[in-house]
Chains A and B, each alone.
Chain A
Amino acid sequence: MTPELGQLALILALLLALAQGILPMLGAWRGNRALMAVARPAAAGQAVFVALAFGILVWAFVHFDFSVQYVADNSNLALPWYYRIAAVWGAHEGSLLLWIFILNVWTVALAAFSQKLPEVFAARVLAVMGLIAVGFLAFIIFTSNPFGRLLPMPGDGADLNPVLQDPGMTFHPPVLYTGYVGFSVAFAFSIAALLGGGLEQAWVRWARPWTNIAWAFLTLGIVAGSWWAYAELGWGGWWFWDPVENASFMPWLVGAALIHAQAITEKRGGLRAWTILLSIFAFSLSLLGTFLVRSGVLTSVHAFASDPRRGIFILIFLTIVVGGSLLLYALRAPKVASGKPFKLVSRESALLIGNLMFAVAAAMVLLGTLFPLIGDALNLGRISVGPPYFGFLFPLLMLPVVLLLPFGPFLRWGKGDASALKQVLLRAGIAAAACAIVAVFFVDGQLKAIAGVAAAVWIIAGVLLYAYKRWREMPRGRRYPAEMAGMLLAHLGVGVFVAGVLLSESLSVTSDVRMAPGQTEHIGGYDFRFDGVHRASGANWRADQGVITVTRDGRQLTVMHPQKRTYLRGQVQTESAVDAGIFRDLYVALGEPMDANKVEDAWSLRLYYKPFIRWIWGGGLLMMLGGFVCAADKRFRIKRAATEVVTAESLQVQETHA
């Protein structure tokens, strides 16, 4: 009976979502406080029912309830409990439920923390969140029920895709979804502002930490996904510009632009329309990602089993939500430029240029991702757009961002001081040039690596110069407000990231080798000795496990154990061995025996030496940390109390609009 309860809970949640979406909206329109007051209890009730449904699905997995089709498809008796929980979001239906669950967590948080917002505005924001939930709940109930029964009940289930049986998998989707869904808050804000007729600076200030947190989660989710692909798939890469990776990267880029645009709107009153538009874009691109993954319109590594019916449903939903918002934007967006004036040399200009580059980069990624589809539509034949395309254009578009980044903090609002900039240019420039010259001797004349060193030093020096300036000029305690500290951390992360990407891409060494036991290969200054293969086994797999002893200058560093696993249902999976280090990774993947009948003999192996690759994720983590630190700024919280004065006033404004 329990799975049916789960389904019932989803239906009740849908009804509550309808109440949350429609009644407060009506209330805000008619000035009816009772209707507006429905929003919070409805949101809470909906969250309870969704949590119940989610809990029931987890329970079904934990207790091997194979009478539930979804459980039977994605788990079996031998699957360890932690992967059974991760299996909840291992395929389409459950991951959708996770999406809805996270949306509810955000909504409840919003309901709890929005007490100080003007009543009408808060009602509209929560109603928008409710309408989003209506769409997704309808989607899951009508097309993707995770509680469907399988009768007669099989004795055992199938298996979770072995690629997903990895600690990264338990972690990556929930975090990524938290980021995706988090942009719904900024989105709901913008829609509420458009409905109300204006975007007030106080509200933008209030929205900023939400956007920062969502973006930080998205960053973490992408980093986790990248790391997982690197560690798990045995291909040694960390990003493939696959359509689904792009689907998570586009909202990230737009989110980065939005964070900066919100700063201008909040502090200077300008760019209101652009901030609203970016909020709509960021969330729309999250929805678009959902569409791309689940509709099967593009060939992708991560695509869920596709079903055109689902595709059509999400497309209609997407059209209503995004089309409706953009139409609303066209009708109601603030028409007059507002905010304080600024000169060409000013922080605003720099932020605008950064915003432009992020937006164009997101558009480029969108174009490249969808171009195969355009090719079909225009009868150009089937076209592939892959890493060479993105890898060529993206760095070009980011070049201005990297060049401008050190100046940003030194620029003042309104009108910058050119002499301070010259100083930055001189100091960071000299540091970058000096390090680049030193690097020439270490990187074998590789231009990409030299550029990486120069760009990273340029950015990091810029950040440190500003940190030093604050240290020198400001009294203790006022030197680094959280907002600024977050910015500095995130910018530092960009520098670390750039260094990681360019250095690892240019200096990595890869070699496919045939190795007999006892044989040694020399790669990147390390000696890899192959000591044969033996059998190993786990809860639901058996493996051939290679033993590779790594030495450097005769000193033993580590023993690595790459595996070739065969799971219960016969799926074969490479399990690479990674010896991680701050300055280099050693990475070994086990291939096949050269002679299938002589496993004790020679094997094919792939050996990698990957310098600085960890800096890629390290940079990403710094950016994430920056987002969180920034969101923690007291200014965002104290001002919420201060807005109460404004509240009464703005409520009047609201009512005259309504």
Chain B
Amino acid sequence: MRLSSSCPTGTPCGRGSGFSRDSSSHGRSTASRLKPLLQVLFVALLAFAGVTHAQAIEPMPFADHAQELRFQHLTQQLRCPMCQNETLADSNAPIARDLRNQIFQLMQQGKSDDEIKQYLVARYSDYVLYDPPLKPGTWLLWFGPLLILCGGAGVVLVAIRRRGRDGGTSDKTTDSMPLDNEPADNGDDW
């Protein structure tokens, strides 16, 4: 299993380097144009433009430990818009660094977590929230499991009650499917 190549993150801010966004989708079209000659080279390029996996580790001057915890928690719930498989906390993409800094600044200004999320959503849409907000569009997501649970619980309840009441039918129906007649209750009920 390879990491998808959508996330080239090698260099800090990619200044002057071969940093490219999204080599998976845009890069492919480039390759097809330059086909036969450079194919080998491009295969290599495409395959490896994006496999860098280095953690983003950035000490920040937090006001106190509580704020550091808040920052860690918040950035772990946010998705990096470029390296879409990573949280803002983990991503090494330039935009993730910028956004972490921005979040840090907003925290220093006393903004709440919700305000910071709103700030990001206004610019990058709900996509950056790993915790999808509850609204009509996501009712299915949030209440779907409850619905399934209720339906399933209904079926199970009916089954238990029916099986509890009329034990008689079982012997008849199993005629065609020979029950093995080993006593299940052989002292240890196992």
Contacts and interface: CB of A to CB of B under 8 A. Distances in A.
A–B touch (CB < 8 A): the answer is yes
Interface of A: 72-73, 90-91, 95, 150, 154, 158-159, 161-164, 173, 198-202, 205, 233-235, 242, 244, 267-270, 272, 293, 299-305, 334, 336-344, 348-349, 352-353, 356, 359-360, 363-364, 367-368, 371, 374-375, 378, 380-389, 393, 397, 412-413, 470, 474, 478, 481, 483-484, 510-514, 564, 569-574, 589-592, 604-606, 639, 646, 649-650, 653
A302 B1 contact: yes
Interface of B: 1-6, 10, 12, 24, 40, 43-44, 47-48, 51-60, 68, 72, 76-77, 79, 84-85, 90, 125-132, 137-138, 140-141, 144-145, 148-149, 152-153, 156, 159-164, 166-170, 173-174, 176-180, 184-185, 188-190
A512 B4 contact: no
B132 A389 contact: yes
Contacts of B162: 337
A337 B173 contact: yes
B132 A301 contact: no
A589 B54 CA distance: 9
Contacts of B137: 375, 378, 380-381, 383
A384 B144 contact: no
Given A269-B170, A378-B137, A484-B190, A367 B163 contact: no
B149 A299 contact: no
Contacts of A512: 57-60
A393 B145 contact: yes
Contacts of A338: 170, 173-174, 177
A26 B132 CA distance: 51
Nearest to A481: B190
A384 B79 contact: yes
A158 B79 contact: no
Contact of A571 (B40, B52, B129, B167): B52
Contacts of B130: 384-389
A511 B51 contact: no
A474 B189 CA distance: 12
A653 B177 CA distance: 9
A484 B189 CA distance: 11
11 contacts: A91-B2, A201-B179, A267-B184, A299-B6, A336-B169, A341-B166, A352-B156, A356-B149, A386-B79, A412-B189, A572-B53
B47 A73 contact: yes
Contact of A592 (B12, B159, B167): B12
Given A173-B1, A572-B52, 11 more contacts: A163-B2, A201-B179, A235-B90, A270-B163, A301-B3, A338-B173, A382-B127, A383-B127, A389-B141, A512-B60, A564-B54
B148 to A, nearest CB: 5
A363 B138 CA distance: 16
A342 B43 contact: no
B3 A161 contact: yes
A591 B97 CA distance: 14
Given A199-B177, A337-B169, A161 B184 contact: no
B184 A513 contact: no
A572 B19 CA distance: 13
A268 B127 contact: no
Contact of A352 (B144, B159, B166): B159
B55 A574 contact: yes
Given A90-B2, A342-B163, A514 B59 contact: yes
Nearest to B60: A512
B87 to A, nearest CB: 8
Most chain A beta-carbon contacts within 10 A, residue among B24, B90, B127, B190:
B190
Contact of B1 (A95, A339, A340, A378): A95
A297 to B, nearest CB: 12
A290 B60 CA distance: 41
A364 to B, nearest CB: 4
A380 B127 CA distance: 11
Q: Top 6 A-B pairs ranked by shortest CB distance?
A: A386-B130, A341-B167, A591-B57, A388-B131, A364-B145, A380-B137
A339 B167 CA distance: 9
Interface of A is mostly: mixed
A301 B85 contact: yes
Contacts of A569: 44, 48
Contact of A337 (B85, B138, B163): B163
Contacts of A571: 10, 48, 51-53
B174 A339 contact: yes
Nearest to B76: A387
B2 A359 contact: no
A236 to B, nearest CB: 9
Nearest to A650: B178
A149 to B, nearest CB: 13
B176 to A, nearest CB: 7
A380 B24 CA distance: 25
B128 A384 contact: yes
B40 A367 contact: no
B32 to A, nearest CB: 14
B159 to A, nearest CB: 7
Contact of B145 (A303, A305, A360): A360
A352 B43 CA distance: 52
A384 B141 contact: no
Contacts of A201: 177-180
B4 A300 contact: yes
Contacts of B188: 470, 474, 478
Contacts of B152: 356, 359-360
A219 to B, nearest CB: 18
A388 B78 CA distance: 10
Given A382-B126, A386-B130, A571-B52, A341 B156 contact: no
A604 B177 contact: no
A444 to B, nearest CB: 13
A646 B180 CA distance: 9
B85 A381 contact: no
A484 B190 CA distance: 8
A371 B178 CA distance: 45
A341 B184 contact: no
Nearest to A364: B145
A517 B141 CA distance: 50
Contact of A397 (B43, B127, B140, B145): B145
B77 A158 contact: no
Given A305-B5, A338-B170, A385-B132, A605 B51 contact: no
Contact of A302 (B3, B60, B132, B156): B3
Contact of B51 (A163, A483, A646): A163
